[in-house]
Structure 1
C-alpha cells in the first residue's frame, strides 16, 4: 500500500468564511430552539412524507436530536479536514500533486459541511414552525433542492479532482 504524503494545508479565506457562517447558523439554530422550547406542544411532528406533510409524531424532546446531531456532524467534518492524506482519491497521490488534491478535497469538505449545516438548520426551523402552527409540513421542494445542491457540489469537486 502506497502512503500519501502528509501535508499541512492552511485554511483559505473561503474555508474561514464557511466556518464563520456555519458557526453563526449553529448558534442561531440552538438559540431558536431554546427560545421556542417552552411554546412547543408536548407532541410534535417528527417525520414528514414525500409531500412534506407530517406523518409521524413524537415527544418534543426528540427535537433535541437535530441540533445535537448537527453539532456532532460539524465537529466531525471539522476534524476530518486535518487528515486529507487518508482520504480516497481517484489519482495516485505523489509529493508533486498532493497539495493540489488535498486542497480541493478540503474545499469540497468545507462546502459540504456548510451545506449540511444549512440543511439541518432549515429542517429544525421548519419542524419548529410546524409544531408552533405557523406552517403545515416542511415544503415539498426544499429538501430535494438541498439534496441536488449537495450532490452537485460533490460531483463538481470529484470531476475537478479527476483533472
Structure 2
C-alpha cells in the first residue's frame, strides 16, 4: 500500500492538541500582523531585512519588505491546511494497512499541524524582532533564535518519525 492512490481515505476529527496548536500559531501570526499595522506609520524607512546566524542584522531594507513574511504565512496556512486535510496523500511505510491507517494518518497530520503553527510562530517572531530593532525597543531574540527555531522545526519531525516506527 505504498501508492498514495491506494491508501484508504478516512475522516476523523481534529484532536485537542491540534486545536491548541492552531490557536497558538494563528494568535501569534495574527498578533504580529496587528502589531505591524499599529506601528506601520512609526516605522522608519529602513528596517532590518535579514539576520545572520548570531541574530545580528546583516541587511537593511525598506519597511515594505516586512509584508513578505505575512504573505508567506498565508501561503503556508493554505498549503499546510490541504496537507492536514488529506493525510492519505502523505508518504508512508509498507506497514500501512487498513487496521493501522488511522494511527499513521493521525501521527502525520499532527506533525504537519505542528510544523504549520511553528512556522507561523517563527514568522511572527521575526516580524516582532524587525519591528523591535527598527523602533529601538532592543534586540530581544539575539543569537539563540536560530538554534531555537531549528530545534522547534526538527523536534516534531523526529518525534513523529519515532512514533511512526512504533505503530504496529
The alignment's TM-score, normalised by the length of structure 1, stands at: 0.92
The CA distance in 2 between the partners of 1:155 and 1:90, in whole Å, is 16
The CA distance in 1 between the partners of 2:139 and 2:14, in whole Å, is 41
Equivalence map 1:13-162=2 (5 Å): 13-136=16-139, 138-162=141-165
Greater alpha carbon shift after TM alignment, 84-93 vs 135-144 = 135-144
In the alignment of these two chains, the number of paired residues is 163
The CA distance in 1 between the partners of 2:153 and 2:53, in whole Å, is 19
SS of the aligned residue for 2:143 comes to coil
Deviations 1:20-76 (A, max 9, x none): 222222221110010111011111110111221111121110110011111221222
The CA distance in 1 between the partners of 2:51 and 2:57, in whole Å, is 4
Q: Which consecutive unaligned segments of at least 5 residues does structure 1 have?
A: none
